[in-house]
Every structure is written in structure tokens, then in C-alpha cells.
Amino acid sequence: MTNEDRGTGPVEPGDEQAPSEQTPDEQTPDEQLAAELRNLLDRAAPVPDWLVEAGRASYGLRRIDAELAELTRDSAVDQPALAVRGAGEPRTLTFDADDLTVEVEVTGSGPERRLLGQLVPPQAARIEVDSRPPGGEDVTPAGQTVEADPRGRFAAGGIGPGPLRLTCHRAGLPAVATDWVLVG
């Protein structure tokens, strides 16, 4: 994607100002400052095309047929000192939807992670594990699906680093998909 695609117009070395819809006389001081900063940043550190494309592709990774379970707890954020202490420490994630909580412990490093999970309230379910690298291709072994037992417990292995989402399919209830979360 070029700067023209982003609506900032072409930016060439030596340009004093990126073209905008308003002339500088019509812009507020804040708008003028924002235009100057945008111009400066586009010259100093343009956004790589692959990053812009990854952002666009992320919209295709959403599930419109499932209720969203939001990330409400992440031990890597809630307890950053623990994350620094040792790379071998498990990371705990909690996702909440209206009628379901998904608790997950992520262990491992390098090319593979392991997930241990619990559905609350406890119930049997089919869990789809979706893991994608930055390029967007699915690396989860054969579209990995695991079963949660009647106590709501489940496990999955062979999860690569990168974005991760779980989708829980429960008998007679709508599917619940977690937020995407980066497991590194």
C-alpha cells in the first residue's frame, strides 16, 4: 500500500507538506500540526506494505456467526514481572462472554505451545483452535479440533507462536469465539 492508498498523497524527500483536502489556511492549528507530523513520519518511518496488508487481512479473521468472548485477564499484562522472570512460566488467559468463561493456560516456547483449558460453567463442547502466523496461513495441525469433557476441561498441543483464537461449539447453544490473542 502506498501513501496515496492511505490518503496521505505522495511523499517525496524534500516535500514540505503532504497534500490534503484543505489548504493550510483552512486548517486549524491542530490539523496543520497533524499533517506536518504525518508527513515527517511517512518520510522517516513509512508503514511497511506487509503490515498494512496484515491489518486488512485481520478483518477476514473475524467470525460473524459466533458470540464474542472478550479477553478480560492476561497474566502477561496483569503480572508483567512474572513474564520477565522466566520464559517457562505459564501464561493464563481468561475470556468472558454472556454465559461462558473460557480459562486457558498457555505453556511452552519455541515453535510449539500447549493449551490447557476450562469452560465455566463446566460443560462438554467442541473447541476449534485457530492459530495463524503473520502471513495468515493456518498452522494448527489439520484444523485442530479438541473436545471439552463434561467438566469443561480440554487440552491442545502443537500450537505455533502467533495469533490464536478458540471457538466453542456447545450443544443447543450459540458458538462462542474468543478474541484473537498473540501467543509468542
Please report which confidence band the pLDDT of residue 115 belongs to, taking 50, 70 and 90 as the band edges. very high
- Whole-model pTM: value is 0.62
At 170 the pLDDT is 95
Question: If you count DSSP H runs as helices and E runs as strands, how many of each does the chain have, helices first?
Answer: 4, 10
Rounded average pLDDT over 112-141: 81
Please report which confidence band the pLDDT of residue 13 belongs to, taking 50, 70 and 90 as the band edges. very low
Sign of CA dihedral 35, 37, 40, 45: negative
At 14 the pLDDT is 45
Please report which confidence band the pLDDT of residue 120 belongs to, taking 50, 70 and 90 as the band edges. very high
At 22 the pLDDT is 63
Distance between CA atoms of residues 177 and 103, nearest Å = 13
As a 3-state breakdown, the chain gives helix, strand, coil percent values, each rounded to 5, of 25, 35, 45
Provide the percentage of residues in the chain whose pLDDT is more than 90: 37
